Structure 1
Amino acid sequence: MLLKLIVIILLGLKCIYLHTFTITYTEINGETIARIPEVSAVATLDGLQIDYYDSVRKKLIPKQDWVAIESRNIWKDYTEIREQVRQINKINITVLMQQLNQSRGVHVYQRMYGCVWDYKTNDSDGFDQHGYDGEDFITLDLKKLRYNSPVPQGIPIVQKWNNDSQQLQLLKQYCEQDRIDWIKYFLKLGKDALERKVSPLVSLVQKNSSSPVVCHATGFYPSEVNITWLRNGEEHYEDVELGELLPNEDRTFQKTSTLSIYPDEWKKDQYVCVVEHKTGTIQKNLTEDEIRSNKSNECKMFWGERNFSRSFTNVENNHYSWK
């Protein structure tokens, strides 16, 4: 069960100047398939995984060589922080189950938070999103320093957190200063890995003549990409479904945008898939000659082989309790 949490700070090509640091915690309450940890946590920078922690190993594991070599002195402290957060999250999910009158079953609580830094303007923004059983539960508006909840069960918690001005200011400082310093630190350490640029390979794919047309971009790095459809030169949003960003095994990324219209419709007008990336812009005209069928070897390649101890410590160590 996955929680879909999307942070939209800026649109279009402006995103190429952004660096995003994210930490995601997942807490599972109840019996699950063997070997699935009760708690896991992952930190990423610009989509590249930095570390991993879970409640089975109880150890913070660096996922990049340049992080492991240069950051040994912070690893022990950071591991302790993750363990403390695990204990807080365990209390939170228990309290939430009680509020929802849930006494059994498997339930999932997730928190995703982090910061976005625009290195061109030096502007920054932050996000703090909490989810329960795959649905949004609480989100932070950092500009207004207020938490919000789309569900009634979250209102009492939001009111409590919004009254804690000290913690709200700490979150603001975390994103406007402390975490930005860490982004710069990691960018310096992993310069070659993080600043590499790989252009997307873009194809129009269709399972059969009556199926939706999929604009598939793959093999690109960094992860920021914008996929849009044009109809007769103007942006087209109807009957369009944007897919999730997915990682490839070679540490690149892939993403799709599906246009669900019948061939008779797109043959009457001019449709173009536009893929904007840091490496440039690629356009694919929707024509029969451009579409690749899933019966071809080329399509199999796309859908097969290539598919699918600073103040920051205070923020993580003082996760809000719902108790």
Structure 2
Amino acid sequence: MILLLLLGAHLVSAGKHSLRYFYTGVSGVSDFPEFISAGLLDDHQFDYFDSNIMKVVPKTEWIRQNEGADYWDSQTQGLIGYHQVYKNNIQEAMKRFNQTSGVHTVQVMYGCEFDDQTGETNGFRQEGYDGEDFLYLDLKEMRWITPVQEGFPSVQKMNNDRALLEARKHYFSFECIEWLQKYLQYGKSSLKKTVSPQVSVLQKSSSSPVVCHATGFYPKEVTISWMKNGQDHDEDVEVGELLPNEDGTFQRSSGLRVTPEEWKKNEFICVVEHQGETKIANEIKTNTGDSLPIVIIVGVGVAAVLLLIGIGVAGYKVYQKKKGERDSDNIIIIIDYISCFI
């Protein structure tokens, strides 16, 4: 089985691949789902569920074409159950933090990674409450850890259940990796694609930063830098976060704080490097004081929603810039982590 997984991965692309699931429970917000789930393969969303629509829906053709009704029904039933679990989790967390009202969130990210060059695997589960770290699972030490006093009851309970810890380790080390490899085979054509970025230099007003905006590229790895009079320039530069577009591509911006006089007296060039291709731009396309083009606004809006469901895993300072059992043998996935708060 492992040999097949290793061979299969090379059909997609060499390097590290990941399968991640993001759950978010929300309270105190009207007209917004109480529970949201999203699955991502190599940072590309392939399914979605929320407690308003009450069903799991495919977000890519490769998952839609390769899984049938039984798969989607099973996923839906499992996540309907998690909806109630997360409502209970928020209520329990509010008690521990002595809160009686307000907007509150419980966020969970879990999944696994596989490096098809080294064979190394890794699993992870990290949890947050109201945008701060609450719990995370250390698979090497086989224990749960919490940075806050309110998490101690959960840690003590779960660390005493050695059988469940072993089951979770097995899931992350084997079952999750198998699903990751299976999905990689499903999506190998899409995941191999390369789309070059469109690059623009933009400015809202003369007092605003000059923004180099790269959008529509895939895969996500991109480098944006500035040059001044032919030399690398990194002063007063701020690189923005990587943001997803609705079509599965990505966008990123780099802002340069420069006065109009300095811009006119010097030659500034934005350099964007992606998959061995280099693009440059230095002509400001907008300087009207109006909003930036709609593609940026849409992207930021999507990012805000995806942030709420958990995208943006860098270090998992629970979705800040800086942190069972399958439903059946033949369907998928979800380890029964029922309520770490309870």
Distance 2:142 2:203 in 1: 46
Residue 105 to residue 243, structure 1, CA distance change in 2 (3 Å): same
User: Does residue 1:25 correspond to 2:44, yes or no?
Assistant: no
Residue 204 to residue 144, structure 1, CA distance change in 2 (3 Å): farther
State which drifts further: 57-66 or 304-313: 304-313
Distance 1:86 1:235 in 2: 49
**Aligned counterpart for 1:211 among listed residues 208, 213, 238:** 208
**Aligned counterpart for 1:65 among listed residues 61, 64, 85:** 61
Distance 2:261 2:116 in 1: 46
- Contact 1:91/1:321 (<8 A) preserved: no
Task: Note the C-alpha offset of 1:22.
Answer: 1.6
**Aligned counterpart for 1:94 among listed residues 91, 94, 98:** 91
Residue pairs, 1:234-249, within 5 angstroms: 236=234, 239-249=236-246
Distance 1:21 1:133 in 2: 24
Distance 2:139 2:260 in 1: 45
Q: Which residue of 1 aligns with 2:4?
A: none
Q: CA RMSD in A?
A: 3.7
Residue 122 to residue 226, structure 1, CA distance change in 2 (3 Å): farther
Task: Note the C-alpha offset of 1:26.
Answer: 1.3
State which drifts further: 252-261 or 184-193: 252-261
The secondary structure found in structure 2 opposite 1:317 is coil
- Give the AA of the match of 2:67: S
- Give the AA of the match of 1:55: S
Task: Note the C-alpha offset of 1:281.
Answer: 4.7
Distance 2:233 2:142 in 1: 34
Q: Which residue of 2 aligns with 1:322?
A: 341
- Give the AA of the match of 2:193: R
Task: Note the C-alpha offset of 1:187.
Answer: 1.7
Taking structure 2 as the reference length, what is the TM-score of the superposition?
0.72
Distance 1:25 1:175 in 2: 17
Distance 1:272 1:146 in 2: 50
Task: Note the C-alpha offset of 1:98.
Answer: 0.5
User: Does residue 1:178 correspond to 2:175, yes or no?
Assistant: yes
For structure 1, list consecutive stretches of 5 or more residues without a partner in the other structure: 1-14
**Aligned counterpart for 2:34 among listed residues 38, 45, 58:** 38
**Aligned counterpart for 2:48 among listed residues 52, 59, 65:** 52
The secondary structure found in structure 2 opposite 1:105 is coil
Distance 1:233 1:141 in 2: 45
Taking structure 1 as the reference length, what is the TM-score of the superposition?
0.76
Residue 283 to residue 173, structure 1, CA distance change in 2 (3 Å): farther
**Aligned counterpart for 2:117 among listed residues 110, 117, 120:** 120
Aligned length: 301
What whole-Å deviation, never above 9, does each CA across 1:166-201 have from its counterpart, x for those lacking one?
333333333332222112211212222222111222
- Give the AA of the match of 2:15: Y
Distance 2:124 2:265 in 1: 43
Distance 1:295 1:304 in 2: 16
**Aligned counterpart for 1:199 among listed residues 196, 200, 205:** 196
Identical-residue share of aligned pairs (%): 42
- Contact 1:24/1:110 (<8 A) preserved: yes
- Give the AA of the match of 1:189: Y
Q: Which residue of 2 aligns with 1:152?
A: 149
- Contact 2:109/2:125 (<8 A) preserved: yes
Task: Note the C-alpha offset of 1:71.
Answer: 1.4
The secondary structure found in structure 2 opposite 1:316 is coil
Distance 2:174 2:82 in 1: 22
Residue 262 to residue 22, structure 1, CA distance change in 2 (3 Å): farther
Distance 1:147 1:132 in 2: 16
Q: Which residue of 2 aligns with 1:9?
A: none
Distance 2:139 2:263 in 1: 42
Distance 1:26 1:184 in 2: 25
What whole-Å deviation, never above 9, does each CA across 1:191-249 have from its counterpart, x for those lacking one?
2222211122233333344432323221011234454668997795x754443332224
Residue 250 to residue 315, structure 1, CA distance change in 2 (3 Å): closer
Residue 253 to residue 16, structure 1, CA distance change in 2 (3 Å): farther
- Contact 2:14/2:116 (<8 A) preserved: no
- Give the AA of the match of 1:166: A
What whole-Å deviation, never above 9, does each CA across 1:82-114 have from its counterpart, x for those lacking one?
223223222211110011111222312111222
Residue 253 to residue 93, structure 1, CA distance change in 2 (3 Å): same
Residue 102 to residue 19, structure 1, CA distance change in 2 (3 Å): same
Residue 192 to residue 150, structure 1, CA distance change in 2 (3 Å): same
